[in-house]
Amino acid sequence: MQYLHTMIRVSNLDETLHFFCDLLGMKEISRKSSEKGRFTLVFLATPEDEHRAREDKTPMIELTYNWDPEEYDGGRNFGHLAYRVDDIYALCERLQANGVTINRPPRDGHMAFIRTPDNISIELLQKGESLPPREPWASMENTGTW
Q: Say which of 123, 129, 135, 141 is annotated catalytic.
A: 123
The residue count of the chain comes to: 146
50 is catalytic: no
CB neighbours (10 Å) of residue 16? 22
Query: Residue 93 phi/psi, 5° resolution?
Result: -60, -45
Whether omega before 106 lies within 30 degrees of 0, making that bond cis, reads: no
Positions marked catalytic: 123
